[in-house]
Amino acid sequence: MDENERVLYDDGLHKCVMFSFDDEEQEDSFLSVNQFLIVQNESAVLIDPGSEAIFDELYDAVSRYVSPKNIKFIFLSHQDPDVSASITQWALTTKAKFVMSSLWIRFMSHYGFTELSRIMALPDRGAKIKFGQEFLEFVPAHLLHSPGNFSLYDSKSKVLFSGDIGAAIVKSKESGKKVSNFKEHIEYLEGFHKRYMASYKLCRAWVKRVTQLDVKIIAPQHGFIFENEDVNAFLNWFESLACGSDLLEELY
């Protein structure tokens, strides 16, 4: 297996894979970026496929697990380029529906994407869809950091794909790992979350919603995954984080 790949869950029928491709031509490629794939039988969901620069590598990597024509959904947690900029390439090479917040649909044409009939718009309160014997739940994560933002919970693997929530600012070479000591990991989380997340009230609302789910792994779009006791360690830290508007005097 490639060093850019890590299997998060595999029971023979259902699999979750994490990829960590980044744009190596960028001199300042200091930020690790993760992409994810859920495969169940012959059906798949691709999560936050990212920028155009990594499309070829990611397409080849995904093809080793599933034929791209069997990708049913491509979920975009929010509108950022590191999440969504390759939407047109994926539209041309798959038959997938694109699942995203209704807030960002009108912006997708700026990435060259105009096939609006292929978009499944998520309402603010999220949605739950059947996927094989199980379900996928789009959990509201608004203003954490994007105004229209969702995490995705896979009920079979119990992995929560959390988008930018839980993102660590680590070098791209460091990506694809798991947190081994949460206290030591905080320094890689703190600056990003304080500045990008909107307020502790929103952090708390997300944590409240997430604790109603049975989560075994939190898999963010940047940096390391949280497993077992580190899931709770992260949730405890995040729900009382002063960030964004809580730190108004640092901004104005």
Write a three-state SS string for the chain.
CCCCEEEEEECCCEEEEEECCCCCCCCCCCCCCCEEEEEECCEEEEECCCCHHHHHHHHHHHHCCCCHHHEEEEECCCCCHHHHCCHHHHHHHCCCEEEEEHHHHHHHHHHCCCCHHHEEEECCCCEEEEECCEEEEEEECCCCCCCCCEEEEECCCCEEEEECCCCCCCCHHHCCCECCCHHHHHHHHHHHHHHHCCCHHHHHHHHHHHCCCCCCEEEECCCCEEECHHHHHHHHHHHCCCCHHHHHHHCC
Is 20 one of the binding residues for Fe ion (CB under 5 A)?
no
Is 164 one of the binding residues for Fe ion (CB under 5 A)?
yes
Minimum CB separation from Fe ion for residue 20, in Å?
A: 13
Is 221 one of the binding residues for Fe ion (CB under 5 A)?
yes
Is 48 one of the binding residues for Fe ion (CB under 5 A)?
no
Among 22-30, 73-81, 129-137, 177-185, the segment contacting Fe ion (CB under 5 A): 73-81
Minimum CB separation from Fe ion for residue 78, in Å?
A: 6
Among 130-138, 184-192, 214-222, 224-232, the segment contacting Fe ion (CB under 5 A): 214-222
Among 7-15, 50-58, 60-68, 161-169, the segment contacting Fe ion (CB under 5 A): 161-169
Please state, in angstroms and rounded to a whole number, the distance separating the CA atoms of residues 105 and 117: 11
- Report the DSSP pairing between strands 71-75 and 43-47: parallel
Minimum CB separation from Fe ion for residue 107, in Å?
A: 13
C-beta nearest to Fe ion: residue: 80
Is 80 one of the binding residues for Fe ion (CB under 5 A)?
yes
Please state, in angstroms and rounded to a whole number, the distance separating the CA atoms of residues 102 and 126: 10
Q: Which residue, 68 or 147, is less far from Fe ion as judged by CB?
A: 147
Is 22 one of the binding residues for Fe ion (CB under 5 A)?
no
Among 88-96, 160-168, 183-191, 231-239, the segment contacting Fe ion (CB under 5 A): 160-168
Q: Which of 19, 39, 55, 82 binds Fe ion (CB under 5 A)?
A: 82
Fill in the per-residue mask, 119 to 158: x = in contact with Fe ion (CB under 5 A), - = not in contact.
----------------------------------------
Minimum CB separation from Fe ion for residue 235, in Å?
A: 20
Minimum CB separation from Fe ion for residue 80, in Å?
A: 4
Residue ranges binding Fe ion (CB under 5 A): 80, 82, 164, 221
